[in-house]
């Protein structure tokens, strides 16, 4: 059974045509299912857990990167870990999406066809403090220190930004060595005005003298300091052919 999780921003009038087109296409493809609209729900976590326990086999995030990340963190709760191994997570982006493009899903039209094809991959989920993410974390280099494993600490030059990567964005995937979210390592990519550096580590610790935030999955700002690693969680994702990993 498919359960579609509609983010609350989709109630805005400018998304009405897009939502109607998605629903028409899903019906044409024989992919109709239960729709859960977050705009009408106070206990989001409880509703999602209830759907999983009642036998949902495919949970589809309909929205943006924030929708996907929010759903990911609810699904990875220990309370439903017993059910999670047989569950598929899918994504229908209605806005430009870093996560969607990394999964080979460029728009909602492609997403519907990819959902029908049901090609899936199991990948590792990364963790920053207590928050899960699947793509990458970003921080501005100014006043930042990055500890790579237990071996050494890097202080990037002021100009530029640094990424801690589990699954790279399409843009980063063309600039650095191959990164596969099926392995057990994180990858650190440091950019400044004139050069870049690449490291692999089991753990990464990020701090900043000015406080600041680490941005996760293009959506969550996590206060520093933060310790990042590949978690013990894995997730089955429906993906497109042109994803950034094999």
pTM: 0.94
| Mean pLDDT for the chain overall | 94
The average pLDDT across 109-132 equals 97
Which pLDDT does position 157 carry in this prediction?
A: 84
The more confidently predicted of residues 150 and 127 is: 127
Rounded distance, CA 218 to CA 216, Å? 5
Q: What percent of the chain has pLDDT over 90?
A: 81
The more confidently predicted of residues 85 and 187 is: 187
Length of the chain: 246
Which pLDDT does position 237 carry in this prediction?
A: 97
Q: Return the structure tokens found at 41.
A: 């729900």
The average pLDDT across 67-95 equals 87
- Residue 203, pLDDT > 90, answer yes
Q: Domain 2-118 belongs to what architecture?
A: 3-Layer(aba) Sandwich (3.40)
Interval 219-241: pLDDT, tens: 999 999 999 999 999 999 999 99
Domain edges within the chain: 2-118, 131-231
Which pLDDT does position 90 carry in this prediction?
A: 98
Taking CA atoms, 140 is separated from 24, 27, 211, in Å, by 42, 44, 12
Residue 165 carries which DSSP code?
E
| Structural fold of domain 131-231 | Tumour Suppressor Smad4 (2.60.200)
């Amino acid at each position: 059974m498919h359960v579609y999780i509609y983010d609350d921003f989709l109630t805005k009038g400018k998304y009405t045509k897009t939502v109607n087109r998605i629903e028409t296409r899903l019906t044409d493809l024989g992919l109709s299912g239960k729709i859960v609209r977050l705009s009408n729900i106070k206990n989001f976590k409880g509703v999602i857990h209830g759907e999983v326990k009642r036998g949902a086999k495919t949970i589809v995030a309909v929205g943006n990167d924030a929708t996907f990340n929010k759903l990911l963190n609810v699904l990875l709760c220990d309370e439903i870990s017993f059910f999670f191994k047989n569950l598929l997570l899918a994504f229908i982006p209605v806005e430009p999406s870093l996560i969607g493009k990394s999964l080979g899903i460029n728009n909602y039209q492609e997403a519907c066809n990819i959902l029908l094809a049901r090609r899936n991959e199991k990948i590792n989920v990364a963790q920053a403090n207590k928050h899960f993410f699947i793509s990458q974390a970003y921080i501005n280099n100014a006043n930042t220190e990055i500890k790579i494993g237990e071996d050494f600490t890097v202080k990037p030059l002021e100009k530029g930004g640094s990424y801690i990567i589990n699954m790279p964005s399409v843009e980063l995937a063309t600039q650095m060595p191959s990164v596969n979210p099926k392995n057990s390592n994180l990858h650190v990519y440091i950019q400044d005005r004139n050069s870049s550096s690449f490291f692999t580590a089991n753990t990464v610790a990020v701090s900043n003298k000015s406080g600041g935030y680490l941005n996760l999955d293009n959506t969550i700002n996590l206060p520093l300091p933060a310790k990042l690693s590949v978690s013990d969680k894995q997730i089955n994702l429906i993906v497109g052919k042109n994803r950034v990993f094999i």
